[in-house]
Structure 1
Amino acid sequence: MSGTKTFLLELHCEEIPARFLTPLIEEFSAAFTAWASDQGLASAGLEAFYSPRKLAWRGASLPASQPDQTDTQVGPPQRMCVGEDGKPTLQGLKFAEKWGVDFSAVRFEQPAGRKEPCAVVTITKQGRPTVDLLAEALPGLIAGLHVPKAMRWGTSEFEFVRPIRNILCLFGDQVVPITVDGVTATNTTWGHRLYHREHPEAVKIATTEAYESALEAAGIVVSMEARRTRIAQQLEVLAAEVKGHVVADAELLDTLAEIVEFPKIVRGEFPADFLELPKEVLVTSLREHQKSFCIEGLDGALLPCFLTAANRTDDPAGFVKAGNEWVLKARLYDARFFFAEDRKHPLADRLEKLQALTFQRDLGSYHAKTGRVVALTKNLATRLSDDMDHIDRALEAARMAKCDLRTLMVGEFPELQGIMGGEYLRYEGAHEEVWKAVKEHYRPVGADDAIPGTPTGCLLSLCDKLDTVAGCFAVGLIPSGSKDPLALRRAGQGIVRILWERGWAFTPADLIAAALRTVGAKATKPEAETTEALLAFFKDRVAYQLELVGYAGSVRRSALAAGWEDLVDLKARCEALSAFAEDPRFASLAQSAKRIGNILKDEALSTDFDGSLLAQPEEKVLATCLKELESAPDQASLLAALANLAEPLEAFFNAVMVKCEDPALRAARLSLLHRLRQAFLRVADFSLWQ
């Protein structure tokens, strides 16, 4: 049996919760690939398909038969297998019998790690048909799929995410004979429920390549990517028909693609008077309650329309549209009620109520957190500005930042915290600087999110995140490995991004000291230990920031090693290094930097040297270059001078013996190299430039 065939497996189930689809698909793909590798069935990997009722995998170019496998077995020493008369001993015969060969097939070699020749036999195991291997392995691979809440149905002992109703399993045009939980594989599957109202028979899959087209004819687009693409295209077309465009939401787009089998977008309307609600309330209500997109006009204002997905090819009677409109209208009435009730009392009335809302067990309530954030804000605001009005507004924003946690709207939509506080303050007539800072102080909420758009918003966001990170570290809540339940890494990254993009001169050490002072007696860990852990934490966040910005690995490594706490300086150095990153002279400079480091290792060094002691032309040239380096006014000038240093350095090392016999000359040469290295470190550690 030769050649290759395509493998196809589909599990047709009851509706699977969307959150389980991707993990199940990825887990089986990894398990199958590992199994195939162990069996010698090399393939190009699995192509995955899934929809609410289907998990499917297709692997192309699997060999029709497993290749023959050879295995070498080592036995007793030769002297124990062959007697003095040259005939096999009983032990030698037993070794041959054990592996099913005649003694004539036994050879004697000295394997690695053995001190004398030993009996060796090579066993060739004929490869088996791949379909037989699949039949043996697939039930176990399927049963091994893990879900957090596996279930059993009826009297079955089989546990899975949902009942399996049909199994399609093909290898080429041959059905792989497997049975899982009483369901036997065939070459058929099932399409959309509405399709089978008119076509009661199962859908036959003639070939593995016809899988997608056969299912689409039966009302299911089985490719997640295809559904996402079609949904995105339909959204834009329907939004353009009302002279608008879709309010982008990549997560919602993925959700819709996961929960429908056939992507059909429907546009509905809601009463225009609901547009009086804040934009964020409408967008959130439509997304959370109806999995619907909003449409905004050219001016950015919302239109009284929404877009959602129908899990069918059409909506001839308009029931999908009408049903969504009916439910959505009720949800928007709820939102308007919450908005009206919340505005009956000033936001400031909720400040004391924060005492009943726990932030963290050891760190106390949100009222206590607010006090710490206010103290931090005052500390940092006075270092950024001497405008007392500006400082007072920053403090007012800090006091009001968490008050909306006690509102009805945030109770219904937690993702609107901060946003609603800003909106309520705006309606109350608060200063624009105050309400905008409150509204945006949770930003950035992720790597793709922008930092707050106002200086006060950035300051409040920084202080809020800093209190969270420092407070949690102070009570021993430190992220480890992939575990970060309090999202401290995200908060730390937000702090670094704000410092990076605003260009503020605060160092992590400054911020840590200020934050730990506000935590005070609530800390349960020694301050020195907490400071050390926080510095390591922020160094990792700074390194990740350099990666996010897109600096090359050589730039990141060398710049960080020369100092990382002054982010303004670090940014300038990285920008300058990036401009020179392709200059071939830096490769030579990197080698010279490593050589300087090796020479200066374990030496008692001084920055003072007598240039008059330098005798050779090459070292005099280098001393002249040093003056130019040390007088460079900025990073770009320094790097230009460093690039020009590559050739003089190479000439110096070729001609000069640094560690000569003359003590004074030796000291002068070592001091020259030490000062050169110090000049290098003003911008980067070039020994790490690779």
Structure 2
Amino acid sequence: MSKKYLLEIGVEELPARLVGDALEQLKNNAENLLKDERINYNNINVYSTPRRLSLIVEGLDERQEDLKEKVKGPTKKIAFDENDNPSKALLGFMRGQNIDISAIYTEEYNGVEYIYADVVKTGKTIEEILSLNIPNLIKMINFPKSMRWGGKNIRFARPIRWLVSLLDDKIISFDLEGIAVSNVTKGHRFLGNSKIEVPSVDEYMEILKKNFVILDQKERKDIIKYGSEKLVKEKGGNLPKDESLLDEVTNIVEYPTPIIGRIKEEYLSLPKDVIITPMKEQLRFFPVLDDKNRLLPYFITVRNGNEEHIETVIKGNEKVLGARLEDAKFFYMDDIKNPLESYVEELKKITFQDKLGTLYDKTKRIQSLGVKVGEYLEVGEETEKNIERAGYLSKADLVTKMVTEFTELQGKMGMEYAKTSGENEIVSLAIFEQYLPRFAGDELPTTTAGAVLSIADKIDTISGLFAIGIHPTGSQDPFGLRRQALGIINIILDKKLSISINELVETALYFYVDINGLAFDYEKVKQEIIEFLNGRIRNMFIDIGIRYDIVDAIIGTNIDDVYDMKIRANKLNEWLKKEGLSEILSAFNRVSNLAEKAVSDEVQRSLLTEDEIELYDKFNSIEEKVNNLLLKKEYDKALDQLVVLKEPIDNFFDKVMVMVEDERLRNNRLGLLKKIYDIMVKICDLSKIVNK
């Protein structure tokens, strides 16, 4: 008969950000435990509220499956005495395995005969297994920060106050440093009972609901989402999609009741983000927008309780929000007394990084690097002026009162203050767009000035930190350099920018030397950064479906234009789907292998034999076509032209000895192969393509 098991870990309120990972660990650890212990089950579900993590396993077997093992004993030589009677060694083996002599047999192992027995080990009961293993299951949940309490050795995100452990209706006791294990749980802190007996696993969730605890986080999330949407629709508004905030609110309430409050009209003249940021970041309120994405004078909050005295709760929340917005209004009005430009000098007082100077130094580097990138891209004169101006103002908002209080508004307030200071629309927007993308899937810069400024900001940070020996290791990336590298790549691809990564890194490092006088091994650091960026490019291309060998074939060349890499990769990805390419690639590989030995690509026609002339003339007939196709980035068509060399290449290798003793002949033949290889590698390194 199958059984159900419940484990509830009762805690003081867990931080919302830790809940999701803790539940995943609990489920995975339980799955691994049951697998290792040979216990079959139907399904595992995990649930959470701020005060508990719960595990429910359904369809559990009553005991382990019996285990049949082949057990090796002593050698046959010492298992019997001279009269063929069992020796002490054999008797001890049989006693240890609880078998008699009829159960043993001999087999050879590494040339020696041994005694063996097939032993059936009866499985333990599920009660035994749970009692023994549940303490470790709890201890295995790791948190970024843990704590000890009450003289206990166990570490957890918050103190564990109670434990419920039930197999159907039976309490399964275990020892976890003296914490009480029972069938008694707790309801809602204010609305439910503080001691609730759970008669059985089947009744658990319903008993909690009667005590104002909705255990299933998905159910709570739906109540919040659909209840909030209903309230805002009644006001003619929309609830903006914000899964992160929705998940956080779900994990801080046990019995959610969405309510709608009103924002005072006097605050609606403030920039939208000045209102929304305190609502979300400090109070976990949801803004309400109209069909044109404008802020309406309402907010949604979620009460951890029922609808009793709801009007009083609404007024209380409106009062709290009013106080926050009054502070925000003060910061904003004080900040705009001075133009944004006036804050730039204040950046000299703030350190960007101990070895990399101040934020003012970073501003100068971004400004100079942005202008240089603009030159590479051959932007127009007006765009170049916008890049230079936006670069100068890029970090000014970091010393304003608003951004000091709400760091999430960096860039956004720079944009708003630039507008109020009379800066043009492009400069203002570029100040905000320098931070894009901020996370995976975030929006990208829409303006050329914003894109250039974002690239400059990110490559400056990456280059500086690499120069002082700070770079990602394993899963550790405290400065988010991988994210910033991916941001650069995504912007380049989105804007279809042709820019040399090598030149970009060289320029960024140069400004650290020029502006900060930073000393470091220039070539070594440059190579480390390029390898780091190539690693991100490689992973991104593979993630979008480009074959790994194609990526390696392109990155393995001197090509360092990311947008051009993408074009090549896509065209090569399609080109390699053609049939009959294995023999063509084999011919190219033969050329590559010997071309490396060439001292030059000079070829004297007078030294060529008839079989060499066939390849030489064929190559000369397509060389100009291939180069023209490469200029047009028609790499697949260029490869089609090179395919005609297959037969003459094969004839060449079948009939010509390349590595002859005559140095002039040898170098001439290697030179011919190098000419072919050099034009092949302008597309990619075909030697890295795997024949499939």
The question of a shared fold, defined as TM-score above 0.5 by the shorter chain, is answered with yes
- How far has the Cα of 1:413 moved from its partner? 0.2
Cα distance in 2 between the residues matched to 1:620 and 1:365: 62
Kindly indicate whether residue 564 of structure 2 is the aligned counterpart of residue 569 of structure 1: yes
Maintained 8 Å contact 2:572/2:636: yes
Q: Which amino acid aligns with 1:191?
A: G
1:528 to 509, 523, 529: 523
Q: Which amino acid aligns with 1:116?
A: V
Q: Which amino acid aligns with 2:237?
A: G
| Root-mean-square deviation (Å) | 3.7
- Which position in structure 2 is the counterpart of 1:682? 683
Cα distance in 2 between the residues matched to 1:345 and 1:630: 57
1:25 to 13, 23, 26: 23
Cα distance in 1 between the residues matched to 2:456 and 2:620: 48
| Secondary structure in 2 matching 1:511 | helix
Kindly indicate whether residue 531 of structure 2 is the aligned counterpart of residue 539 of structure 1: no
Maintained 8 Å contact 1:609/1:671: no
- Which position in structure 2 is the counterpart of 1:12? 10
1:410 to 392, 403, 423: 403
- Which position in structure 2 is the counterpart of 1:231? 224
- How far has the Cα of 1:311 moved from its partner? 1.2
- Which position in structure 1 is the counterpart of 2:581? 589
- How far has the Cα of 1:75 moved from its partner? 3.5
Cα distance in 2 between the residues matched to 1:636 and 1:300: 42
Q: Which amino acid aligns with 1:675?
A: I
1:204 to 195, 198, 201: 198
Q: Which amino acid aligns with 2:636?
A: L
**CA shift in 2, pair 1:226/1:108, >3 Å:** same
Cα distance in 1 between the residues matched to 2:642 and 2:400: 64
2:636 to 633, 639, 642: 639
- How far has the Cα of 1:83 moved from its partner? 3.4
- How far has the Cα of 1:416 moved from its partner? 0.8
2:70 to 62, 69, 72: 72
Maintained 8 Å contact 2:64/2:123: yes
Q: How does 1:398-547 map to 2 (within 5 A)?
A: 398-520=391-513, 522-547=517-542
Cα distance in 1 between the residues matched to 2:609 and 2:594: 25
- How far has the Cα of 1:36 moved from its partner? 2.2
- How far has the Cα of 1:408 moved from its partner? 0.6
Maintained 8 Å contact 1:13/1:165: yes
Which digits, 9 at most, give the CA deviation of each residue in 1:98-138, with x for residues without a partner? Answer: 44433453322222xx3311223333221111122101211
Which digits, 9 at most, give the CA deviation of each residue in 1:24-47, with x for residues without a partner? Answer: 323333333332222122446632
- Which position in structure 1 is the counterpart of 2:167? 171
Maintained 8 Å contact 2:289/2:295: yes
Unmatched 5+ stretches in structure 2:
none
1:116 to 104, 112, 115: 112
**CA shift in 2, pair 1:601/1:134, >3 Å:** same
Maintained 8 Å contact 1:626/1:676: no
Which digits, 9 at most, give the CA deviation of each residue in 1:321-345, with x for residues without a partner? Answer: 1111110000000000001111122
Unmatched 5+ stretches in structure 1:
none
| Secondary structure in 2 matching 1:565 | coil
Q: How does 1:587-626 map to 2 (within 5 A)?
A: 588-590=580-582, 592-594=584-586, 596-597=588-589, 601-602=593-594, 604=597, 613=610
| Secondary structure in 1 matching 2:112 | coil
Kindly indicate whether residue 272 of structure 2 is the aligned counterpart of residue 279 of structure 1: yes
Maintained 8 Å contact 1:503/1:568: yes
**CA shift in 2, pair 1:301/1:591, >3 Å:** farther
- Which position in structure 2 is the counterpart of 1:191? 187
Deviates further, 177-186 or 296-305 = 177-186
Q: Which amino acid aligns with 1:289?
A: Q
Cα distance in 1 between the residues matched to 2:621 and 2:49: 71
**Aligned pairs, how many?**
677
Q: Which amino acid aligns with 2:45?
A: E
- How far has the Cα of 1:388 moved from its partner? 4.3
Which digits, 9 at most, give the CA deviation of each residue in 1:424-478, with x for residues without a partner? Answer: 1211111222222112211111121122221111111111112111111111111
**CA shift in 2, pair 1:641/1:45, >3 Å:** farther
- How far has the Cα of 1:486 moved from its partner? 1.2
Maintained 8 Å contact 1:557/1:689: no
Task: Report percent identity of matched pairs.
Answer: 26
Kindly indicate whether residue 692 of structure 2 is the aligned counterpart of residue 659 of structure 1: no
Cα distance in 1 between the residues matched to 2:537 and 2:338: 43
| Secondary structure in 2 matching 1:495 | helix
| Secondary structure in 2 matching 1:76 | strand
Q: Which amino acid aligns with 2:146?
A: K
Q: Which amino acid aligns with 1:54?
A: R
- How far has the Cα of 1:410 moved from its partner? 0.7
- Which position in structure 2 is the counterpart of 1:376? 369
Which digits, 9 at most, give the CA deviation of each residue in 1:565-618, with x for residues without a partner? Answer: 11231122234345557x452xx4256425642675356566969899459x99
Cα distance in 1 between the residues matched to 2:75 and 2:66: 28
- How far has the Cα of 1:284 moved from its partner? 0.7
Maintained 8 Å contact 2:26/2:46: no
Cα distance in 2 between the residues matched to 1:648 and 1:388: 47
Which digits, 9 at most, give the CA deviation of each residue in 1:228-259, with x for residues without a partner? Answer: 23322233332222222123322211111111
Kindly indicate whether residue 95 of structure 2 is the aligned counterpart of residue 101 of structure 1: no
Maintained 8 Å contact 2:50/2:253: yes
Maintained 8 Å contact 1:593/1:677: no
Maintained 8 Å contact 2:336/2:417: yes
Cα distance in 2 between the residues matched to 1:512 and 1:620: 41
TM-score, reference length from structure 2 = 0.87
- How far has the Cα of 1:205 moved from its partner? 5.5
Maintained 8 Å contact 2:396/2:414: yes
- Which position in structure 2 is the counterpart of 1:152? 149
Deviates further, 569-578 or 364-373 = 569-578
Cα distance in 2 between the residues matched to 1:619 and 1:385: 39
Cα distance in 2 between the residues matched to 1:483 and 1:600: 39
**CA shift in 2, pair 1:162/1:620, >3 Å:** same
Q: Which amino acid aligns with 1:529?
A: K
Q: How does 1:286-301 map to 2 (within 5 A)?
A: 286-301=279-294
Q: Which amino acid aligns with 1:528?
A: E
| Secondary structure in 2 matching 1:168 | strand
Cα distance in 2 between the residues matched to 1:157 and 1:529: 47
- How far has the Cα of 1:297 moved from its partner? 1.3
Cα distance in 2 between the residues matched to 1:110 and 1:497: 63
Q: Which amino acid aligns with 2:87?
A: T
| Secondary structure in 2 matching 1:7 | strand
- How far has the Cα of 1:532 moved from its partner? 1.0
| Secondary structure in 2 matching 1:493 | helix
Cα distance in 2 between the residues matched to 1:128 and 1:637: 68
Q: Which amino acid aligns with 2:78?
A: M
Maintained 8 Å contact 1:265/1:307: yes
Cα distance in 2 between the residues matched to 1:662 and 1:418: 66
